[in-house]
Amino acid sequence: MEFDWTLFSGKGVSLEEAAEGFEDPFSVRLWPERGDIAEHSRYFCLGMTLRGRGVFSVYSTNGKQTKVLTARELTEEESFFYNRKAREYF
């Protein structure tokens, strides 16, 4: 996966941590159905770093390159959702 970090704004999350969230084999990718963010083709990624830190990222993609716009730590509710989805793989 090729990343474009030119617009990246990490809110307490480094570039490396954001990238690890995408590389997580259990990461959850979502596309909002409505609202301003859906109109601009923005997607969400919930993933874990190698150290077990949950990362929420907002990104766009053209199919070849992923432009990560922002990333932050998962909230408690997002962590619950991620863990529930990850358990579906077992």
Q: Flag whether 90 is in a domain.
A: no
Helix, strand, coil shares of the chain as percentages rounded to 5?
A: 30, 35, 35
80 in a domain, yes or no? no
Tens-binned pLDDT, residue by residue, of the chain (90 aa): 799 999 999 999 999 999 999 999 999 999 876 666 555 678 999 999 999 999 999 999 888 999 999 999 999 999 999 999 989 877
> b/e for 7-31, b at 16 or more Cβ within 10 A?
ebebeebeeebbbbbbebeebbeee
Residue 54 domain-assigned? Answer: yes
Give residue 14's domain range: 2-71
Question: Do the domain assignments include residue 82?
Answer: no
- Please identify which residue in the block is written with the tokens 């077992």: 90
In a domain, 77, yes or no: no
Neighbouring C-beta atoms of residue 60, cutoff 10 Å: 15
pLDDT value of position 39: 56
Split into its structural domains, the chain has a count of 1
Structural domain includes residue 59: yes
Asked if the structure places residue 60 within a domain, the reply is yes
Q: What is the pLDDT of residue 41?
A: 78
What's the confidence (pLDDT) of residue 35? Answer: 60
Give a yes or no: residue 7 inside a domain: yes
